Amino acid sequence: MGINAIVLAAGFGTRLRPLTDLMPKPLVPVCNIPLLENVLLNLTAAGIDKVAVNTHHLAEQMNDFVAESVFSQQVELFHEPEILGTGGPLINARELLKQTPFFLLHNSDILTDMDLRQLCETHQQSGNKVTMALIDGPENKVCLTSDGRIHDILGRLGRAPAESQKLTYSGMMVLSPEIFNWLPQEPCNCSIITAVLKLMEVEPEAVGAFLPGEIYWNDLGTLPKYFQVHQDIFAGEVKLEHFEFAVNRCCAESAVIAVDSKINGFLVAGKNSVIGSQANVANTILLAGAVVNSGQYCCNEIITQNGTIHRDFKELSQLDILKTELAGGAEISSLPEAGSARRFYRIFTPQRSAVLVISDEADADFEHFVDYGRFMNGIEFPTPDIYKTCSDEYTILVEDLGNVTLYGKVKNSDSDDEIKTLYRLVIDRLVDFQWNGTKHFQRSDAPSVREFDYAYLRWESDYFLSKLIGKYLGVKLIGGEREAMNSAFDRLAELADRHPKYLMHRDFQSQNIMVTDNGIRFVDYQGMRLGPPGYDIAALLNDPYVELDTTLRHELFDYYIARAGEHIAGDFEAYIAAAWLQRSMQTLGAFAFLGLVKGKRQYLEHIPRGMELLVEGLDRFEHKFFFTIPGLHSLLK
């Protein structure tokens, strides 16, 4: 027995904007298969003969899709000059739908592996005039009892038997032609749910439920849901043959992906799309003809031929700090994640490019970022300009310093001379930051800067013991071993704390140093302290992210000593040895914490190099101060 169906496909897809400004929601691709095609495949597999599809928003695209598809002879389009709701389309397609004893209604924006054949068979066997497929979902407003009878929808009939439960209408139901008795005769904007309720008022037993059990269901109502459905497909949660792919990849045969590009998370690449050399792409969807340029970073983005649409667009569009930018037509893209919980986005407008920093109430350094940044902007220090802040939202809009970090420069350079020159420029900037910065922050109008004192130094070494030695290496120090190491760390902190305090960046590593057309600039400065200046040069030259030649590192260290010696007398190098160890231990503790506790496992790959550098620092320290940190060498080797 043949069955016909209607697919409701005329809506604007408002919650998926701006993606649905480019295409109607039924044509939004999921793993390169438009939603409507997925629905039609499922309907065909269930034995459906003819399908009515209503159109309105961007109807020309719908016409072209159907005409060029294998479903062209199966589908009849019904255009609506004005949208007719969920009931009006049935009236338009009445002649087609009344050709069979019952018909199936399917919303076009539902992606599911529900067994539609079983839904139809349940309806036929039950004697229902309407059978609604129900799920335990986001809007449980359909009231039913254990016998499968539906008693109310949206509470409009006031019927709620004592033993009833509430579930969500899935967007799929089977209807007998009698439903047309409860719809208007002429096409108009009306609701199919209202018609079903009218039927129930007269025939309380006419409407039943189909409970499909464990299925996949997603209404793709938002951009985050759109990304989630791709993750679910690659995780094997959607049981449909046309969604069986290699892990995390769905690429059209005509897509061109550079062999040296870096792909993380999932990737969907449409027809004739391109990913350029050394691009870094994660959880990204390229529509047909889209291009990711060489060296570009993309994360959680839909790449179109005309720009990008970020997964978080709707969330960010609610922020007060971006209202002016978005009103002027801003485009949003991700920036690489950092070790902190802050999120970073690049905001493009016709006037400028800026970086949005989003934090939260748990960020103790939010106000410091703003206060320090504004003060340093006033004294023309090498930090980004702050354009706007919103303390209620914990958001900051700052100058975009570009994509070129010291880390990237070193990684992509084959010239030792170029690297040496670059690092000398960075050291010159660091010395100016430390010594002239200290003077500026002593002014009465300067914000207060916290001190990097003995207590904080000891906290760092305990952090190292807990996260690197205990959690990463799995070593538990007890008794005399622990006491001896604590005693050594006490003395280390005393030595580092003994040095006169200067302004220090505190995280002066290669990924926080930007190389711009206007020179060297610093970011991520909110943790600044007054402390031992050797800590910053240790962060720069003992940076596990880059493997500088040992000879070059020694040359650069000597260069720093000479430049810093212009300001400091005495055995400056001896104090640096203590700060050197402190920084190395802090870095390793942080990498272990981020990798093992926060789940950012990319940090774990830098621990072996960090341990090598710490051993080197131990040798330097022991030479200067003639005592050891008991047992640490053996733990690290």
Q: What per-residue confidence (pLDDT) applies to 84?
A: 92
Query: CA-to-CA distance for 432 and 566, rounded, in angstroms?
Result: 11
Question: 102 and 51 share a domain?
Answer: yes
Question: 174 and 316 share a domain?
Answer: no
- Give the pairing of strands 103-107 and 150-153: unpaired
Q: What per-residue confidence (pLDDT) applies to 36?
A: 94
Other residues' Cβ atoms within 10 Å of the Cβ of residue 609:
16
Question: 366 and 413 share a domain?
Answer: no
Question: 440 and 572 share a domain?
Answer: yes
DSSP string, 518-584: TEEEE---TT-EEE-THHHHHHHHT-TTS---HHHHHHHHHHHHHHHTTT--SSHHHHHHHHHHHHH
DSSP string, 285-330: EEPTT-EEPTT-EEESEEEETTEEEETTHHHHHT-GGGHHHHHT--
Dihedral-angle region of residue 296 (phi above 0 means left; psi in -120 to 50 means alpha; beta otherwise): beta
Question: 304 and 348 share a domain?
Answer: yes
Overall domain count for the chain = 3
Residue 189, token pair as written in the block: 């904007």
Q: What per-residue confidence (pLDDT) applies to 52?
A: 94
Dihedral-angle region of residue 145 (phi above 0 means left; psi in -120 to 50 means alpha; beta otherwise): beta
Query: CA-to-CA distance for 401 and 366, rounded, in angstroms?
Result: 20
Locus of tokens 């031992």: 532
Q: pLDDT digit string (tens) for 288-312? A: 999 998 888 888 999 999 888 999 9
Cα distances (Å, whole numbers) of residue 401 to 56, 316, 433, 437, 515:
44, 21, 18, 21, 8
Q: pLDDT digit string (tens) for 61-76? A: 999 999 999 998 999 9
Question: 369 and 475 share a domain?
Answer: no
Task: Answer for the pair 219, 109: CB distance below 8 angstroms, yes or no.
Answer: yes
Q: What per-residue confidence (pLDDT) applies to 595?
A: 87
Question: 345 and 241 share a domain?
Answer: yes
Question: 143 and 290 share a domain?
Answer: no
CATH number at residue 339: 3.30.200.20
Long-range contacts formed by 197-202: CB under 8 A, 24+ apart: 197/153, 197/156, 197/157, 199/129, 199/130, 200/150, 200/151, 200/152, 200/153, 200/157, 201/157
Stretches where the chain sits below pLDDT 50 are none
Output Rg (C-alpha) for the chain, integer angstroms. Answer: 32
Residue of 463, 445, 457 whose CA lies nearest to 506: 457
Question: 515 and 566 share a domain?
Answer: yes
Locus of tokens 């989003």: 358
Residue 588, token pair as written in the block: 């390793």
Q: Rounded to 5 degrees, what are φ and ψ at 590?
A: -65, -45
CATH number at residue 187: 3.90.550.10
Owning domain of residue 528: 406-636
Question: 385 and 413 share a domain?
Answer: no
Cα distances (Å, whole numbers) of residue 85 to 89, 179, 180, 232:
7, 16, 15, 30
Angle made by CA atoms 149, 154, 157, in degrees to the nearest 5: 70
Cα distances (Å, whole numbers) of residue 196 to 55, 136, 149, 212:
23, 20, 13, 21
Cα distances (Å, whole numbers) of residue 289 to 66, 141, 227, 427:
21, 42, 20, 45
CATH number at residue 453: 3.90.1200.10
Question: 202 and 332 share a domain?
Answer: no
Question: 23 and 106 share a domain?
Answer: yes
